[in-house]
């Protein structure tokens, strides 16, 4: 077997694997779209594409007086935006401090961040519930945001700190020689160069509130405060209300704000990949 034939076989296996993974990923999505277009409430259909396609479930979500979908959507977008912005701001300051300064407890603080990432979030649910109850933020979107932002600090700080460490310190020193202060170095040098990793942090923290079910289930109890994941669960959980088609329609629409944020941040993500390749 010559080298050219061997290369073609290898490429064939690679493309076959990519096609296989695409089918695994795309099939559940296409099936969910098909269910959302299926009349009635049944999740089962004779074909992936329904014979009688209808958009009544999407219309019901936005127009029916008994539907709280728009309220849940607004709550999820609010939590996602505040969580994303707050996480980027707090994480960037924390990561910059650990990357550029030496202070008492710095090493122990890094080890503490690393240690906190090893424990699942479920271990702290009872303590978080009691804490929110003591400060009066139980069944409150701000209480949910507080847990999201605080819980992501260890992982995000490690991630952003590692990126800050790759930025040459000579840039800081040159700026200080020109009279720049700490905040000027941070805002005018470090943040512009760290846009790719901050875009990753913003995207991940924006996505989390849309897909998380467990934490809102514990923190929130009023229907007017529900997020999408918690609200949609009622479509298939309430007695005599196993409406899988409405659940599928509502689930599909969750992807819209996530896709918009991804498209907005895409140029920063791509620039980060290309800059990383040139650095190597």
Q: Is the pLDDT of residue 126 over 80?
A: yes
Domain of 22, in residue numbers: 3-59
Residue 40 backbone class (left: φ over 0; alpha: ψ -120 to 50; beta: rest): left
Closest CA to 252 of 33, 3, 10: 33
Whether the CB-CB separation of 176 and 185 falls below 8 Å is answered with yes
CB 200 within 8 A of CB 159: yes
**CA angle at residue 189 from 183 to 190, to 5 degrees?**
80
Q: Is the pLDDT of residue 58 over 80?
A: yes
Q: Name the more confident of 86 and 56.
A: 86
Examine the domain organization and report whether 105 and 158 are in the same domain. yes
Helix (H) or strand (E) holding 138: none
* Same-domain pairing of 37 and 134: no
| Other Cβ atoms closer than 10 A to 23 | 10
**Same structural domain, 210 and 143:** yes
pLDDT, average across residues 59-65: 86
> Which of these ranges, 108-112, 232-236, 254-258, has the smallest mean pLDDT?
232-236
Tokens coding 11: 């490429």
Q: Give pLDDT, residue 118.
A: 78
36 and 83 share one domain: no
Do 105 and 213 belong to one domain? yes
Closest CA to 246 of 33, 58, 32: 58
Distances (CA, A) of 36 to 42, 43, 47, 256: 10, 9, 13, 15
Share of the chain above pLDDT 70, in %: 91
pTM more than 0.85:
no
pLDDT band at 279 (very low <50, low <70, confident <90, very high): very low
Domain co-membership, 158 together with 55: no
The residue from 30, 59, 88 where one domain ends is 59
């Amino acid at each position: 077997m010559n080298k050219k034939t061997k290369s073609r076989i290898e490429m064939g296996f690679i493309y076959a694997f990519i096609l296989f993974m695409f089918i695994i990923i795309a099939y559940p999505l296409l099936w969910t779209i098909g269910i959302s277009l299926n009349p009635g409430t049944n999740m089962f259909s004779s074909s992936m594409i329904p014979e009688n396609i209808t958009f009544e479930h999407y219309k019901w979500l936005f127009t029916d007086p008994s539907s709280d979908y728009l309220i849940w959507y607004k709550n999820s977008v609010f939590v996602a935006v505040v969580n994303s912005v707050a996480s980027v701001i707090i994480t960037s300051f924390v990561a910059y401090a650990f990357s550029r300064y030496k202070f008492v407890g710095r090493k122990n603080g890094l080890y503490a961040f690393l240690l906190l990432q090893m424990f699942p979030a479920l271990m702290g649910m009872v303590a978080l519930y009691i804490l929110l109850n003591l400060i009066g933020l139980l069944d409150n979107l701000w209480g949910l945001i507080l847990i999201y932002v605080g819980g992501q600090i260890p992982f995000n700080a490690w991630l952003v700190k590692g990126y800050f460490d790759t930025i040459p310190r000579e840039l800081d020193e040159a700026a200080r020689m020109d009279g720049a202060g700490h905040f000027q170095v941070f805002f005018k040098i470090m943040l512009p160069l760290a846009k790719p990793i901050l875009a990753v942090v913003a995207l991940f923290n924006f996505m989390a509130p849309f897909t998380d079910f467990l934490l809102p289930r514990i923190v929130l109890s009023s229907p007017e405060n529900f997020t999408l994941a918690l609200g949609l669960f009622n479509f298939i959980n309430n007695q005599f209300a196993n409406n899988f088609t409405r659940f599928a329609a509502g689930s599909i629409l969750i992807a819209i704000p996530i896709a918009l944020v991804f498209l907005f941040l895409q140029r920063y993500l791509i620039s980060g990949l290309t800059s990383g390749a040139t650095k190597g």
